[in-house]
Structure 1
Amino acid sequence: MKNESNFIKRLLGSKERDRAFSELVNTYQERLYWHIRKLVGSHENADDVLQNTFVRIYKSLPNFKQQSSLHTWMYKIAYNESLRFIDREKNKYFSSSQEIESMIFTHFADQEYFDGNYIQEKLQSSVQQLSNKQKKIFYMKYYDDLKFKEISEILEVKEGTVKTIYYKAVDLIKQIVLNVEVK
């Protein structure tokens, strides 16, 4: 967003808040949707989590302290809403987080947009073998194209740690995709 500080003033002001929030939704809806979709799997679940995310953003605007960019702050809310959803679903239907992640990958592979390309399947399969933290960081960096600083703010982890985890994940993925024995 070009002039974020003026836009934030509009979001926090009483006169233009609803109009500014509508602009916010139009600007970030698709990006947040795909961020959430990668975490929760299905379109229906992503839509529900996205709606909850925007409700939480709207209600939390008065508490936005502008210590990070608006974009990073919203991603953090979307990320946390996704985790809350996954925890609720896991507790309802699954005995382990590994089970739900396997189900999410299977759901992705069954989608019509997932063209079954061998390399794409191999990549998705190898990502499933990463630890939860590696997966989250890999998704945010590789798919969402977030900067390391933004990821560190969202996850509340040091930037150097984020970089280390990301590059280790990339190395593991390369080893798995190329069928090289993981050290």
Structure 2
Amino acid sequence: MNQEVDLIKNLKNPKLKNKAFQDLLDMYQERLYWHIRKIVITHDNANDVLQETFIRIFNGINNFKEKSSLHTWMYRIAYNESIRFLEKNKIKTLVSIDQENNSYLKNLKQDPFFNGDELQLKLNEIISKLSSKQQRVFQMKYFDDLSFHDISDILNISENTLKSSYYSAVKTIEDKILAAY
């Protein structure tokens, strides 16, 4: 925790900000990339959103009030940037949920960065058919290993609601995987 306190202090110090920001990038770039990638799906889109996320972090660090952890604050920015990106692109191309899910799975299969096996592909197929709320909660808890408290802060949803959504998603996933194998 002291490392985070020092990092925040250095990020807010104009003389140390650039070096501290590089440290921040080294520590969080990959984790935030994968968090964003699960939302916007493609590598190129994830890179674009990640860049916007870090620009917002760099420009907004002095407004960070430290009511949550730096990690949670950055995840919230990444999540909001991802949703903003999806909404902006949704206006450009109106696509049905089924088309979007089929496109997601097709992109995943063709993605050179995806090296999953059949079970991983099935898991992603099942996740893609959950409600968007269940998808986000499941991905943040299962893949990003965030606490319900942190997810609650990021999504601004009560912990009990998140737990209900998560365990419902887990049950659905378990049932569909067991039925398939």
Q: TM-score when scaled to structure 1?
A: 0.91
1:119-158 counterparts in 2 under 5 A? 119-158=119-158
The answer to whether the Cα contact below 8 Å between 1:90 and 1:96 also exists between their aligned partners in 2 is no
The Cα of 1:100 is off from its aligned counterpart by: 2.9
The answer to whether the Cα contact below 8 Å between 2:101 and 2:129 also exists between their aligned partners in 1 is no
What's the counterpart of residue 34 of structure 1?
Answer: 34
The Cα of 1:96 is off from its aligned counterpart by: 3.5
The answer to whether the Cα contact below 8 Å between 2:49 and 2:81 also exists between their aligned partners in 1 is yes
The Cα of 1:94 is off from its aligned counterpart by: 2.5
What's the counterpart of residue 89 of structure 2?
Answer: 89
Q: Quickly say closer, same or farther: Cα 1:87–1:99, change in 2 above 3 A.
A: farther
- Partners of 2:65 and 2:115 lie apart in 1 by 43
* Stretch deviating more after TM superposition (113-122 or 125-134): 113-122
- Partners of 1:18 and 1:102 lie apart in 2 by 42
- Partners of 1:128 and 1:100 lie apart in 2 by 9
Q: Structure 1, unaligned stretches of length 5 or more?
A: none
* Stretch deviating more after TM superposition (156-165 or 134-143): 156-165
SS of 1:145's equivalent in the other structure is coil
Instruction: Supply the AA of the counterpart residue of 2:73.
Output: W
The answer to whether the Cα contact below 8 Å between 1:90 and 1:97 also exists between their aligned partners in 2 is no
The C-alpha deviation readout for 1:77-136, integer Å capped at 9, x for no partner, is 001111111111221122335533432232112213434622112111111111110000
The Cα of 1:4 is off from its aligned counterpart by: 1.4
RMSD: 1.6
Instruction: Supply the AA of the counterpart residue of 2:158.
Output: K
Instruction: Supply the AA of the counterpart residue of 1:46.
Output: A
Q: Quickly say closer, same or farther: Cα 1:51–1:113, change in 2 above 3 A.
A: closer
Q: TM-score when scaled to structure 2?
A: 0.92
Q: Structure 2, unaligned stretches of length 5 or more?
A: none
Instruction: Supply the AA of the counterpart residue of 1:70.
Output: L
What's the counterpart of residue 78 of structure 2?
Answer: 78
The answer to whether the Cα contact below 8 Å between 2:36 and 2:78 also exists between their aligned partners in 1 is yes
- Partners of 2:72 and 2:161 lie apart in 1 by 18
**Percent of pairs identical after alignment?**
47
1:109-120 counterparts in 2 under 5 A? 109-115=109-115, 117-120=117-120
1:50 matched to 2:50? The reply is yes
- Partners of 2:2 and 2:101 lie apart in 1 by 37
